[in-house]
Amino acid sequence: MLPIGTFSQLTGLSAKALRHYHSQGLLVPARVDADTQFRWYTVDQIGRAGRILALRRAGLDLPRIRRLVDDPGLAPEVLRRHAEDLRRERSEQDRALAEASAALAWEPEVGVRARRARTAVTAVTAEYGEDYDTDRMRADTSALADVLGGVAHERGWDVDGRWWRSPEPVAGSGASRMCVRVCVPVAAAGAPSPPLPGGVGLVEYGEGTESYLLVPGPETLGGLTLALSHLFGHRVDGMFADVGTLRQVDYDSGVEFAVGLRPLETDRSVLDG
């Protein structure tokens, strides 16, 4: 019989860990002194302890470790799923590190560019109220963009660039409720065949000028507020930013916010009319 100290040295498991595994029924000593509660182990238990240690180092939790050491036949599937979880977690950590680096180095630089005319397949999400959150919005708009891309594909239209989204207030609700319009640009020609499904439209957007700003990381309400502050604070001679043309495009590095610019001059016939 091996006392707990010797067993700890032979297995690499601390005495504290051995006592915890005993309490969880994962590695029960061969004998426990009734008076002193001193634990004793057998040489045969070294193998089970080694498997527990290997699985613990691999990052598995105790319930799954117990399942595997009790039934090794489950190992291939459980370890495969665990490896997928680790890869996904590592990917998320890498993305978070990249976003942190970009956020620390970011300097807001508003640009101005020509906006070419576009045809887009478009639809709006369900309404959002006080329960609005950016994670839900990103999931909803991404799913809707996939649907619209499928609509375009069915009609033989090529997708002509990245899809974008724009806030769309609900009529009569003030700022309390809103939808999000999703637009997938397409190289479309002629009437759609078959007809577009309900709620889906084909819209022409004219050419113009817009200012834009890339904000690193996923969209947040704070990032939106910051982007609007810079876009509407950026002066362009003879032009003003039209809030009704705000649109957002997702990139791996962040979210690009863009707003259309309109000339300040007003048609004299309107003033004189």
DSSP 272: H
Helix (H) or strand (E) holding 3: strand 2-3
Rounded to the nearest 10 degrees, what angle do helices 4-11 and 45-57 cross at?
A: 50
Predicted confidence at residue 172, as pLDDT, reads 65
CA nearest to 110, candidates 206, 208, 207, 210: 210
Give all domains of the chain, ordered by start, each with its CATH number: 2-70 (1.10.1660.10), 111-268 (3.20.80.10)
Cβ atoms of residues 65 and 52 within 8 Å: yes
- Binned at pLDDT 50, 70 and 90, residue 271 comes out as very low
The full 3-state SS of 203-268, as one line of letters, equals EEECCEEEEEEEEECCCCHHHHHHHHHHHHHCCECCEEEEEEEEEEEEECCEEEEEEEEEECCCCH
d(CA 63, CA 203): 55
* Average model confidence (pLDDT) across the chain: 89
pLDDT at 217: 84
Summarised one tens digit per residue, pLDDT across range 66-90 is 999 999 999 999 999 999 999 999 9
Secondary structure class of 55 (helix, strand, coil): helix
Q: Closest Cα partner for 27 from 73, 70, 84, 64? A: 70
Sheet with 2-3, edge to edge strand ranges: 2-3, 39-41, 31-32
Per DSSP, what are the bridge partners of residue 169? 178
Q: How many residues does the chain have?
A: 273
pLDDT (tens digit per residue) in 103-151: 788 888 999 999 999 999 999 998 888 777 888 888 999 999 999 999 9
What are the tens digits of pLDDT across the range 141-168?
999 999 999 999 999 999 999 999 998 8
The reported pLDDT for the residue numbered 173 is 58
Q: Does the predicted model carry a pTM greater than 0.75?
A: no
Reported as a pLDDT band with limits 50, 70 and 90, residue 188 is confident
Provide the pLDDT for residue 174: 59
- Percent of the chain, pLDDT > 90? 69
Q: According to the model, what pLDDT value does residue 104 have? A: 82
- pLDDT tens digits, residue range 218-244? 888 888 899 999 999 999 999 999 988
Average pLDDT over residues 41-64: 94
Q: Give the residue, 169 or 33, on which the prediction is more confident.
A: 33
Indicate if the pLDDT at residue 268 is higher than 50: no
E strand segments, 69-228:
111-115, 118-124, 158-159, 164-169, 178-187, 201-205, 208-216
Q: Is a pLDDT exceeding 50 seen at residue 267?
A: no
270 pLDDT more than 70? no
